[in-house]
Amino acid sequence: MEWYELYDVAERYIEIINPCSKEKIIEAGEVLGLGPHTRVIDYGCGSGEPLALWAERFGITAVGIEFRPRAAAKARLKMIERGLDKQIEIIEGSGADYHPGDHTFDIASCMGATFIWNGYPQAIRAMKEAIKPGGKILIGEPYWIKETRVPKELMEGFTIYYEPDLLQMARAEGFTFEYVIRSSQEEWARYNAANWRSLVAWLKENPNHPDYDQVRRWLDSEQDAYLRWWREYMGWALYILTALPK
């Protein structure tokens, strides 16, 4: 099983595939100033729930880019079922390879998928080419909570930054933080538990599957990492980036 297929298995019971609530996605849309004339591109859109929420609430039009075939298919079906397929286009492919033309969109978003460009600063650099002058960027990103206590072995395993560093990297690309929406510990817990529930269900349904051991190892490692490290040392937030007049 490919690495991205493990996420397909883990997201059975998840629509917003990050530790974030529907209400906070809507709040982000309000701060972004979304409306019927707003055009959005969402990189790594998953099954498309944030785009669907924004289209229903604010009337946006959008393009969602998703690398995983199953997630992209689920997103397309969702848009059809909710009557949004005329507003939201879902494209299967890598966000790094999608070039719609410079400065085409009002908003560029990437929630939990800056790895598309190998990291947070590279993501800002790429997304700013997609937005019009005066456009905004929305990034969903993890961050370290306790600078002095994060174990060295944990820091070496992830490319994650402290929030002051996230701000400085945004400034280096010509942006500042306009707004931050942090996920709660309850949202973080529910997101991880939903992943576990999905993986457990798959394992019970597929005891003889050739990838059973791989999925079981993934479940074990995700549980161990959350209970031992993530809930204490790692946070997650939506960052809204805007450029100020020079």
- Determine the structural domain holding residue 132 and report its residue range: 20-184+235-242
Q: Indicate if the pLDDT at residue 3 is higher than 80.
A: yes
* pLDDT per residue as tens digits for the range 158-194: 688 999 999 999 999 999 999 999 999 999 999 999 9
Mean pLDDT of 143-169: 79
Helices (H), the chain: 3-10, 22-32, 49-58, 69-81, 120-127, 152-157, 163-172, 185-205, 212-225, 231-233
| CATH number of the CATH domain containing 137 | 3.40.50.150
Q: Is position 13 within any domain?
A: no
Burial 150-177, CB ≥16 within 10 A → b, else e: beeebeeeeebbebeebbebbeebebee
Q: Is position 116 within any domain?
A: yes
Phi and psi at 52, nearest 5°, equal -65, -45
Whole-number pLDDT of residue 228: 86
* pLDDT per residue as tens digits for the range 12-25: 999 999 999 999 99
Q: Is position 207 within any domain?
A: no
Q: Is position 190 within any domain?
A: no
Whole-number pLDDT of residue 156: 64
Q: Indicate if the pLDDT at residue 103 is higher than 80.
A: no
* pLDDT per residue as tens digits for the range 16-50: 999 999 999 999 999 999 999 999 999 999 999 99
Q: Indicate if the pLDDT at residue 150 is higher than 80.
A: no
Helix, strand, or coil (residue 235) = strand
Q: Is position 39 within any domain?
A: yes
Q: Is position 76 within any domain?
A: yes
Residue 224: burial class (beta carbons within 10 Å; 0-12, 13-18, 19+): exposed
* pLDDT per residue as tens digits for the range 71-83: 999 999 999 999 9
For residue 182, how many other CB atoms are within 10 A of its CB?
Answer: 16
Whole-number pLDDT of residue 149: 66
pLDDT, the chain, mean: 94
Domain count, the chain: 1
**Better-scored residue on pLDDT, 233 or 106:** 106
Phi and psi at 172, nearest 5°, equal -65, -25
Q: Is position 175 within any domain?
A: yes
* CA proximity to 115, closest of 136, 130, 94, 129: 94
Q: Measured between alpha carbons, how far is 68 from 49 in angstroms, rounded to an integer?
A: 15
* Amino acid, res. 199: L
Whole-number pLDDT of residue 102: 74
Whole-number pLDDT of residue 153: 66
pLDDT tier, 245 (very low <50, low <70, confident <90, very high otherwise)? confident
Q: Is position 82 within any domain?
A: yes
* pLDDT per residue as tens digits for the range 201-243: 999 999 999 999 999 999 999 999 899 888 888 899 999 999 9
* Amino acid, res. 243: A
